[in-house]
Amino acid sequence: MYRFAIMPGDGIGPEIVREGMKSLEAASEIFGFKYEAIDMPYGTDHYLDTGVILPDGVFDELRQMDAIFLGAIGDPRVETGLIERHIIAGVRFTLDLYINLRPIQLYAEHLCPLKGISTSDIDFTFVRENTEGAYAQLHGFFKKGTADEISTQQMLYTRKGVERTIRYAFDLCKKRNKKNRLTLVDKANALRSHDIWTRTFEEVAKEYPDIETDHAYVDACGMWMLKNPNWFDVIVTTNLFGDILSDIGAMLQGGLGIAAGGNIHPGQVSMFEPIHGSAPKYAGKNVANPLATILSAGLMLDHVGESEAALAIERTVQELLASGKVPDLSARSGLKTDQIGDMVVEELRASQEARA
Ligand code: IPM
Ligand code: MN
């Protein structure tokens, strides 16, 4: 019996999570695992109603879970980033979810905005460091609102944080066994604090002689992702660069509507969420594409050890996109959020019946 905390969050969060839950339910029936869903109604509405973002003791409760399934956080009614910092960053930091795993995979050629690309050309994954860097919340204002205002934000890297991220990336690269190439992306030429990434990467690489090591500065990486995406296999990078590059990666797959992610501490409770935001302008309209959330449920199942169910979910999404049944990933595809969720469930069941 798995225990999943379900946090729909803000904006389109509740409607996409509802569809993710349908796939989870179907997968549990097909693959014979059981789970308990523990509702966690945190987000902006909850905050505005109660004055509390996350209640005391919530992290003790979360530590009892096998995983957390999050929709999206962010709402223009409150101070920019307030709820995101407490919930998304709060969970990442407090539960020490030091890996942000963001796979970039093209499921159907027509979804890619680049010319002359086949599905096999876009198959890589980001390993984004998830608890340090520019996100460490070391910032301040001085003389705020005056002509002499100063604003600072420090990025910080620890040997422990950098090393465990790089190790995870090498292990993942080995496990994928595709191109066996790990690219370190940093900006060590301009930001000398990134020297810790250069050195640690070189040291850890010695333990993985079968993995080809590669390096790109972040600006060049952005360029290469568009020019030659089939070069990449696994990319390991800092928190901020991973944030930016993974949105570009999402567009290579066809859009944010398909891009799934996991905030992971190997072997411990981890959090799974689409990489897109709460899209307030589409909230409640039943038009947001739930596939990124459904794929995130797949990543969650993989994390808890239900790898067969995870693969089935991914194959199902692939089939719906490749066949054109889900023609595109935008909110203007003509398909409703719940229709796409139902199609996934139907296809999941059909493909399992065909196999049986
Ligand atoms: C993401 C998001 C978050 C981030 C925001 C909402 C704080 O953009 O998960 O990529 O920057 O990490
Ligand atoms: Mn982001």
- Do 73 and 16 sit in the same domain of this protein? yes
Q: Which ligand minimizes its atom distance to the CA of 273?
A: 1
Candidates 29, 232, 39; CA nearest to 125 is 232
For residues 250 and 127, is the Cβ–Cβ distance under 8 A?
A: no
Q: Within a domain: residue 115?
A: no
- Both tokens assigned to 26: 């179907």
- Do 273 and 338 sit in the same domain of this protein? yes
DSSP letter for each residue of 197-245: HHHHHHHHHTT-TTSEEEEEEHHHHHHHHHH-GGG-SEEEE-HHHHHHH
- Do 267 and 228 sit in the same domain of this protein? no
Q: Within a domain: residue 74?
A: yes
In angstroms, what is the span from residue 140 Cα to ligand 2's centroid? 22
Alpha-carbon distance of 187 to 192, in angstroms, equals 8
User: Order of strands, edge to edge, in the sheet holding 234-237?
Assistant: 35-39, 2-9, 67-72, 270-274, 260-264, 99-105, 123-129, 234-237, 181-186, 212-217
Q: Which one of 79, 88, 237, 275 would you pick to mutate in the ligand 1 pocket, going by the greatest count of ligand atoms within 8 A of its CB?
A: 88
Boundaries of domain holding 68: 1-105+255-356
Strand partners for 216: 185
Per-residue three-class SS string for 290-309: CHHHHHHHHHHHHHHCCHHH
CA dihedral 110, 115, 116, 118 (to 10 degrees): -40
- Do 165 and 206 sit in the same domain of this protein? yes
Q: Which one of 70, 84, 278 would you pick to mutate in the ligand 1 pocket, going by the greatest count of ligand atoms within 8 A of its CB?
A: 84
Alpha-carbon distance of 102 to 249, in angstroms, equals 9
Cα–Cα distance list, 186 to 100, 221, 242, 300 (Å): 16, 9, 10, 28
Atom 12 in ligand 1: residue holding the nearest Cα: 243
- Both tokens assigned to 150: 């100063």
**Residue-level pLDDT at 328:** 86
In angstroms, what is the span from residue 349 Cα to ligand 1's centroid? 33
Of the listed 171, 214, 247, 338, which one is catalytic? Answer: 247
Candidates 245, 269, 283, 288; CA nearest to 94 is 269
- Do 248 and 141 sit in the same domain of this protein? yes
- 187 given a catalytic annotation: yes
- Do 183 and 246 sit in the same domain of this protein? yes
Beta-strand relationship, 99-105 and 123-129 = antiparallel
- Residue 100 CA, closest ligand 1 atom number: 9
- Do 99 and 51 sit in the same domain of this protein? yes
Tell me the pLDDT of the chain (356 aa) as tens digits. Answer: 999 999 999 999 999 999 999 999 999 999 999 999 999 999 999 999 999 999 999 999 999 999 999 999 999 999 999 999 999 999 999 999 999 999 999 999 999 999 999 999 999 999 999 999 999 999 999 999 999 999 999 999 999 999 999 999 999 999 999 999 999 999 999 999 999 999 999 999 999 999 999 999 999 999 999 999 999 999 999 999 999 999 999 999 999 999 999 999 999 999 999 999 999 999 999 999 999 999 999 999 999 999 999 999 999 999 999 999 999 888 777 899 999 999 999 999 998 888 77
In angstroms, what is the span from residue 243 Cα to ligand 2's centroid? 5
Strand partners for 128: 100, 237
Residue 33 backbone phi and psi in degrees, to 5: -105, 160
Q: What residue type is assigned to position 174 of the chain?
A: K
**Residue-level pLDDT at 332:** 76
Q: Within a domain: residue 297?
A: yes
Q: Within a domain: residue 183?
A: yes
Residue 242 backbone phi and psi in degrees, to 5: -65, -35
List the end-to-end C-alpha distance of the chain, in Å, as a whole number. Answer: 25
Q: What residues have their beta carbon closer than 5 A to ion ligand 2?
A: 243
The residue out of 208, 226, 252 marking a domain boundary is 252
The residue out of 205, 222, 252 marking a domain boundary is 252
- Do 142 and 247 sit in the same domain of this protein? yes
Atom 9 in ligand 1: residue holding the nearest Cα: 275
Cα–Cα distance list, 86 to 54, 81, 154, 243, 306 (Å): 8, 9, 19, 18, 30
- 243 given a catalytic annotation: yes
Q: Within a domain: residue 116?
A: no
229: CATH: 3.40.50
**Element containing residue 21 per DSSP (H, E):** helix 13-31
Q: What residue type is assigned to position 308 of the chain?
A: E
**Residue-level pLDDT at 233:** 98
Q: Which ligand minimizes its atom distance to the CA of 75?
A: 1
- Do 51 and 79 sit in the same domain of this protein? yes
Ligand 1: residues whose CB is within 6 Å?
74, 84, 88, 243, 275
- 135 given a catalytic annotation: yes
Domain count across the chain: 2
Alpha-carbon distance of 25 to 348, in angstroms, equals 11
Q: Rounded to 5 degrees, what angle do the CA atoms 318, 36, 355 make?
A: 35
- Do 220 and 262 sit in the same domain of this protein? no
